[in-house]
């Protein structure tokens, strides 16, 4: 269903408010640079700091601006199943291709609770779901047997796997439904992830290097792992630099260097990245030929 380089879009803010015009131009640039789909309101988009009204407006603007040129996978995650369903209902009404739904965080449900969360969402809305497993942020972990069971539900279409466990790619490929789509959620693991059966990445780095990330994913899809390795070596310092301080601080700093007029504003509790982080980002951007 989905493949290639899919940026988890940063949300620009100016004076505390969603900078809609900047975001529209950002969406156009991403599409022009070769991104194969877009994800608004994910972790990188600071979704946890958005009101529901803001959350929905970011999704709406992304879908309007993409105008069918690429699919939009709307961030619909919540630790409250009812609120996640609210996001899904809005996203479907706006024309999203799918909803990205993170494992419930903070509540720490067991595997039965995780399954019930996603099952309830599929019963309440027929928008395709992309599971998002990121235990480092949520504490909860969607175990492979739970992913396999969820893949049998009619609208569970894919997973963004940010568990960091590469053996899961093979487990998911062998145990899940045949058409279940495997997407990496960790940029620096994407080369090995794709070689194990993945088909793309919901990417942080693609915010600032969309063309390079698209070329990397295209090389993997073509089986040209010599070219993919070369591109991975160029991108790797940037993958690391963008997490040299609390995300998305370094990402927004990098965007301000690459995209004219992109603001560095963050919402609390996120704060400006350290000078050391900014220097690491600058070096990585220069090394990749982006500045």
How does pLDDT run across 167-182, given as a tens digit for each residue? 999 999 999 999 999 9
Return the pLDDT at 197: 97
Return the pLDDT at 88: 98
Q: pLDDT averaged over the chain? A: 97
What pTM, to 2 d.p., does this model score? Answer: 0.97
In a domain, 272, yes or no: no
pLDDT tens, 149-170? 999 999 999 999 999 999 999 9
In a domain, 266, yes or no: no
Q: Is 223 left (phi over 0), alpha (psi -120 to 50) or beta?
A: left
Q: Hunting for tokens 């969406």 — which residue is that?
A: 27
In a domain, 188, yes or no: yes
Total number of domains in the chain: 1
In a domain, 283, yes or no: no
Domain region containing 106? 4-223
Give 60's contacts (C-beta < 8 A, 6+ positions apart).
94
Reply yes or no on whether the pLDDT at 1 is more than 90: no
In a domain, 263, yes or no: no
Across 11-35, average pLDDT: 98
In a domain, 287, yes or no: no
Return the pLDDT at 283: 98
pLDDT tens, 197-246? 999 999 999 999 999 999 999 999 999 999 999 999 999 999 999 999 99
Q: Annotated active-site positions, please? A: 132, 160
In a domain, 243, yes or no: no
In a domain, 117, yes or no: yes
Across 15-38, average pLDDT: 98
Reply yes or no on whether the pLDDT at 188 is more than 90: yes
Reply yes or no on whether the pLDDT at 284 is more than 90: yes
CATH number at residue 200: 3.20.20.70
pLDDT tens, 266-275? 999 999 999 9
């Amino acid at each position: 269903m989905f493949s290639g380089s899919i940026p988890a879009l940063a949300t620009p803010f100016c004076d505390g408010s969603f900078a809609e015009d900047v975001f529209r131009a950002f969406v156009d640039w991403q599409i022009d640079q070769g991104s194969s789909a877009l994800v608004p309101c994910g972790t990188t988009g600071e979704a946890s700091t958005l009101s529901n009204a803001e959350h929905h407006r970011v999704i709406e603007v992304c879908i309007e601006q993409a105008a069918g040129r690429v699919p939009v996978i709307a961030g619909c995650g919540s630790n409250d199943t009812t609120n996640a369903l609210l996001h899904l209902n809005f996203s479907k009404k706006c024309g999203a291709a799918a909803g990205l739904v993170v494992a419930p965080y903070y509540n720490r449900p067991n595997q039965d609770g995780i399954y019930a969360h996603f099952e309830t969402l599929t019963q309440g809305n027929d928008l395709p779901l992309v599971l998002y497993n990121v235990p480092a942020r949520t504490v909860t972990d969607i175990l492979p047997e739970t992913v396999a069971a969820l893949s049998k539900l009619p609208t569970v279409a894919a997973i963004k796997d940010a568990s960091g466990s590469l053996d899961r790619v093979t487990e998911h490929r062998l145990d899940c439904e045949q058409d279940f789509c495997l997407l990496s959620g960790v940029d620096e693991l994407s080369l090995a992830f794709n070689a194990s059966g993945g088909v793309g990445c919901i990417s942080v780095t693609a915010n600032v290097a969309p063309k390079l990330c698209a070329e990397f994913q295209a090389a993997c899809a073509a089986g040209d792992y010599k070219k993919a390795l070369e591109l991975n070596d160029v991108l790797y310092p940037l993958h690391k630099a963008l997490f040299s301080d609390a995300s998305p601080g370094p990402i927004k700093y990098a965007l301000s260097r690459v995209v004219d007029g992109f603001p560095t504003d963050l919402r609390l509790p996120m704060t400006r990245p350290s000078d050391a982080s900014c220097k690491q980002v600058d070096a990585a951007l220069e090394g990749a030929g982006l500045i």
